[in-house]
Structure 1
Amino acid sequence: MSKLGLRSTFTTLCAMLLMGQALLAQASLPDFTELVEQASPAVVNISTRQKLPDRAAAGAGQLNVPDLEGLPPMFREFFERNIPQMPRTPGGGRQREAQSLGSGFIISADGYVLTNNHVIADADEIIVRLADRSELEAKLIGTDPRSDVALLKIEATGLPIVKLGKSEELKVGEWVLAIGSPFGFDHSVTAGIVSAKGRSLPNESYVPFIQTDVAINPGNSGGPLFNLAGEVVGINSQIFTRSGGFMGLSFAIPMSVAMDVADQLKAEGKVSRGWLGVVIQEVNKDLAESFGLDKPAGALVAQVLEDGPAAKGGLQVGDVILSLDGKPIIMSADLPHLVGALKPGARAELDVVRDGARKKLKLTIGALPEDGETLAGNAAPGVERSSNRLGVKVVELSAEQKKSLDLKGGVVISEVQEGPAALIGLRPGDVITHLNNESINSAKTFTEVAQALPKNRSVSMRVLRQGRASFITFKLAD
């Protein structure tokens, strides 16, 4: 065979190989068409109407419509043509209708619909638009702001419904698909994979979010997240963004959480969650070393609320909770998820580390209060003591301050000088209750413990600032 023939044959083989690879890659990707056809009819668009007076509208960042009376005809005509006029109330004040678009999905043939709480919050009227473009006014059955779940009811029968899946069976890397109304574009479909499970977000302590890279934008909120079996495994709720649009990080409420909330809202009209009555913080490398742990893990108890379930069960400040009912606490955020899922009155077993030794505690879970409890107190002058090693001056707490802060001891910083205290960010007014795992009952005790601190080893200190307790660590150099 000639060189030209060999070259032609080689080129043909390469082309066939590339085509084969492309076909193989295409064949390995999931086909979502059947899933979308079956699931889309149960996905709905949600809009809300809220009548707001002028001041509220202006406060919400809307245009402040000028008074047109008294303007020259030319300018008055311009404003009337370009600025929509709001209807006047009987009292003469203007009102406007604020509309927000979101998504939802039907979970029962008789008209129960799940969506996000923030989609329908403060609405005077909720409109559900079905796949056939018909619109029905929805009744709000109940909401749970802590999980951002809302349950609606529309008066209809024989409605298409979604299949419900088990979010706990999801695996990281698994394909998932979202259907919703981003920017009002009904039944938009986006797909991606599960990026992580059990994510905690700021101010969202009771939801172990599913993180995905599915494109979610304004209007997708409240819509379903499907697995490849066509089952809803989550409610698309939030995105991480710096631009206002999708940046590759989206978060969904697991269906196990959402359905538990929905069932309670349907039965009781409210949601009850388990509660320990503690303030916890993350255990970093330095804290792990100071508390004698092999590795950073668990939830460090920084504060125990008086008469709460933890206090009655013997949990103490400085305990590190490693597991609850045998379920490990890797990150401190794991604890609220597990406790919140328990019913008030349930018995739970905690595995804790106290003074370097492991200990088991059994206690009764309480009910999460409607409003969070906070501790507050201000420092008052007293007899000053000084510790040259840390560079702070402290005063003893008065009886009134101890009562207001629910403390049996502790000292308050009156002055921060140059030294380790300034470097770790201590401020006047901070209250120190523990130092190097020892309780501080007086200024004298503080001085003695501070003078005996080890060098070149992580040392922990428990500090209350504006009623909020946390442990910090530092090292003293030679």
Structure 2
Amino acid sequence: MKRFGLTLLTAFVGGAMALGTYKLVEKKYADNMSFDDKQNVYFASNRMSPAITSSAGEVDFTQAAAAVTPAVVYIRTTYASSGQQSQQDRLQQMFGDMFGQGSPRQSAPQMASGSGVIISPDGYIVTNNHVVAKADKIEITTNDHRRFTAKVIGTDPNTDLALIKIEANDLPIVKLGNSDDAKVGEWVLAVGNPFNLTSTVTAGIVSAKGRGIGIIGKDDDQDDNPFGPTKLRASKPIAGIESFIQTDAAINPGNSGGALVNTRGELIGINSAIASHTGSYEGYGFAVPINLAKKVLNDIKKFGAVKRGYIGVSFSDLSVPEQVADLKTDKTNGLYVRSVVAGGGAEAAGVKTGDVITKVEGVTVYESSDLQERVGRLQPGDKINITVMRDGAEKNFAVTLKADVPAARTAGLSRSANELYNKLGASFMPLSQGQKVKYHVNGGVIVTQVRDGGIFDEAEIPSGTIITSINKEPINSVADIDKAITNLKDGLLTIAGYYPDGTKFNNKFTVEQ
């Protein structure tokens, strides 16, 4: 009997150890999964109902609305007072006027609001960059009225997207769809929090695809324009990637960052802008396609910033008369190559000045957004097939994308660790073994992105900097940063490490608490 009991105890202990080991491996694996993989695991256990829709007959939106609404959150942001208005402030004012978000003006503190979509059960949320840019504090209210403080994982002003995170598990999520499959005329739902009316669902159709409306990466002007109360002018090249899904589903102040879904309840876009003379709905809304957003969000989660590849050409859009007035061409579709970047992918592949790009991956290019969105989904080192018209004949080239310039600088104090983390205004990744050898350190994190207005931006700590300690606490992960910044003494923050050129630094900051 004793022998049997010992055998049973041994089996129990062995089973427990095996289960514990499995759980540790499972968590480590889950942390490295892409959002697509996490979604596949989630929906393997949480089956969605089949779509109830017909292009000609009766349409039922109830199941799609029920599937999506629990995963759309209300975002409330707090901004410190500011005596001066920067370009980012003006952009926030424009977007805020359209979406009920506002920007930090003369009085303090400023409050604003928007929407977000939960895309991973462990608390990752997608929203717009302009919803959280420069926010000192980000509060999330879920559909079941739970409240959390969110941390900015990273932002991408070039697509107006941001990835934020709350500390929670087993959250309801929206299934990521395929925006390429969306058809003009297809029914869609917009879910968000317009005018602080939480969990609002509106219906419409896809009005157009691949829209470039010139709102990302431009300066503002005082003239009237159809995109809102403030006009943006093309005084410099557009830095952003615009290939919006246009919809007539009602979108109003507060919808920014919310979900655009099909009747199967699948996320096909993140609502980002409206065309309006008044700042309220006039029939035209624009969403970032989810196929582009997935690449951006996975990059931010994995690398702390977006890794973007470039073809290496400057071009004029033949569909825009103002851009081709000086060109001797009778073509009205495609992209005229004005110059080829020396050492770029296009030059290496054989593309020349004067070529007209007519197709990308076999799909006809009508305007610049057709090319930009396709390239925006890819990484440096990926190949993309383009077709050009040269001397009356089509030629095909496989272009290897070259690496982007250093990561864009973008936004991020208060009482909680998350708020102070956002105030740092940076994203981080653990050091690789090669980086440890290079800087002769045993640990640390590398700064992958610096956002405008944060502590790192003000202290001129650039991307590529190695952080080895904060408040004399060794730093090897984001979790170490969270721990270190909760132990401030007299509001003093000490950050030590190495600049990209290897110069050592030890900077002290006084932080308002």
Shorter-chain TM-score bucket reads 0.5 to 0.7
Give the 3 Å change call, closer, same or farther, for CA 164–318 of structure 1 in structure 2. Answer: same
Distance 1:173 1:251 in 2: 15
Aligned residue among 268, 278, 294 for 1:233: 268
Distance 1:236 1:155 in 2: 24
Distance 1:159 1:104 in 2: 13
Give the 3 Å change call, closer, same or farther, for CA 319–164 of structure 1 in structure 2. Answer: same
Between stretches 158-167 and 259-268, larger displacement belongs to 158-167
User: CA offset at residue 54 of structure 1?
Assistant: 4.3
Q: Deviations over 1:89-135 (max 9, x none)?
A: xxxxx971111110011112211111111100011111001112221
Aligned residue among 328, 333, 341 for 1:297: 333
Distance 2:261 2:393 in 1: 45
User: CA offset at residue 285 of structure 1?
Assistant: 10
Aligned amino acid, residue 143 of structure 2:
A
Aligned residue among 150, 166, 172 for 1:154: 166
Give the 3 Å change call, closer, same or farther, for CA 225–127 of structure 1 in structure 2. Answer: same
Give the 3 Å change call, closer, same or farther, for CA 56–330 of structure 1 in structure 2. Answer: closer
TM-score (norm 1): 0.60
User: CA offset at residue 44 of structure 1?
Assistant: 0.6
Tell me the SS of whatever aligns to 1:147. Answer: coil
Distance 1:358 1:160 in 2: 49
Aligned amino acid, residue 150 of structure 2:
A
Aligned residue among 404, 416, 420 for 1:368: 404
Distance 1:176 1:330 in 2: 24
User: CA offset at residue 262 of structure 1?
Assistant: 1.2
Instruction: Tell me what 1:453 maps to.
Output: none
| 2:251 and 2:285 in contact (8 A); partners too | yes
User: CA offset at residue 29 of structure 1?
Assistant: 4.5
Identical columns (%) = 44
| 2:292 and 2:373 in contact (8 A); partners too | no
Give the 3 Å change call, closer, same or farther, for CA 190–275 of structure 1 in structure 2. Answer: same
User: CA offset at residue 346 of structure 1?
Assistant: 2.1
Distance 1:347 1:175 in 2: 34
| 1:151 and 1:262 in contact (8 A); partners too | yes
Aligned amino acid, residue 379 of structure 2:
K
Larger radius of gyration: 1
Q: Give 1 or 2: higher strand fraction.
A: 1
Instruction: Tell me what 1:382 maps to.
Output: none
Instruction: Tell me what 2:154 maps to.
Output: 142
Residue 223 (structure 1) aligned with residue 255 (structure 2): no
Aligned residue among 63, 66, 76 for 1:47: 76
Instruction: Tell me what 2:62 maps to.
Output: 33
Q: Deviations over 1:415-456 (max 9, x none)?
A: xxxxxxxxxxxxxxxxxxxxxxxxxxxxxxxxxxxxxxxxxx
User: CA offset at residue 291 of structure 1?
Assistant: 6.0
Q: Deviations over 1:62-93 (max 9, x none)?
A: xxxxxxxxxxxxxxxxxxxxxxxxxxxxxxxx
Give runs of aligned pairs for residues 86-235 of structure 1, distance below 5 A.
96-202=108-214, 204=216, 205-235=240-270
Between stretches 232-241 and 332-341, larger displacement belongs to 332-341
Residue 264 (structure 1) aligned with residue 264 (structure 2): no
**Alignment RMSD, CA only?**
2.9
| 2:214 and 2:242 in contact (8 A); partners too | no
Aligned amino acid, residue 188 of structure 2:
V
User: CA offset at residue 50 of structure 1?
Assistant: 1.4
Instruction: Tell me what 2:364 maps to.
Output: 328
Give the 3 Å change call, closer, same or farther, for CA 367–203 of structure 1 in structure 2. Answer: farther
Structure 2, unpaired ranges of 5+: 1-53, 91-105, 217-239, 409-513
Distance 2:325 2:79 in 1: 51
Aligned amino acid, residue 285 of structure 2:
S
| 1:313 and 1:362 in contact (8 A); partners too | yes
Aligned amino acid, residue 80 of structure 2:
K
| 1:303 and 1:317 in contact (8 A); partners too | yes
| 1:166 and 1:255 in contact (8 A); partners too | yes
- Which structure carries more relative contact order (alpha carbon 8 Å, separation 6+)? 2
Aligned residue among 320, 342, 347 for 2:383: 347
User: CA offset at residue 371 of structure 1?
Assistant: 7.5
User: CA offset at residue 253 of structure 1?
Assistant: 1.1
TM-score (norm 2): 0.56
| 1:47 and 1:128 in contact (8 A); partners too | yes
User: CA offset at residue 288 of structure 1?
Assistant: 11
Give the 3 Å change call, closer, same or farther, for CA 54–213 of structure 1 in structure 2. Answer: same
Instruction: Tell me what 1:246 maps to.
Output: 281
Tell me the SS of whatever aligns to 1:235. Answer: strand
Aligned amino acid, residue 266 of structure 2:
E
Aligned amino acid, residue 396 of structure 2:
K
User: CA offset at residue 331 of structure 1?
Assistant: 2.2
Between stretches 344-353 and 120-129, larger displacement belongs to 344-353
Tell me the SS of whatever aligns to 2:241. Answer: strand
Aligned amino acid, residue 75 of structure 2:
I
Distance 1:280 1:318 in 2: 9
Distance 1:142 1:371 in 2: 11
| 1:193 and 1:212 in contact (8 A); partners too | yes
| 2:296 and 2:377 in contact (8 A); partners too | no
| 1:103 and 1:219 in contact (8 A); partners too | yes
Give the 3 Å change call, closer, same or farther, for CA 95–215 of structure 1 in structure 2. Answer: closer
User: CA offset at residue 367 of structure 1?
Assistant: 2.1
Q: May I ask how many residue pairs the two structures share in their alignment? A: 313
Structure 1, unpaired ranges of 5+: 1-24, 62-93, 373-478
Instruction: Tell me what 1:278 maps to.
Output: 313
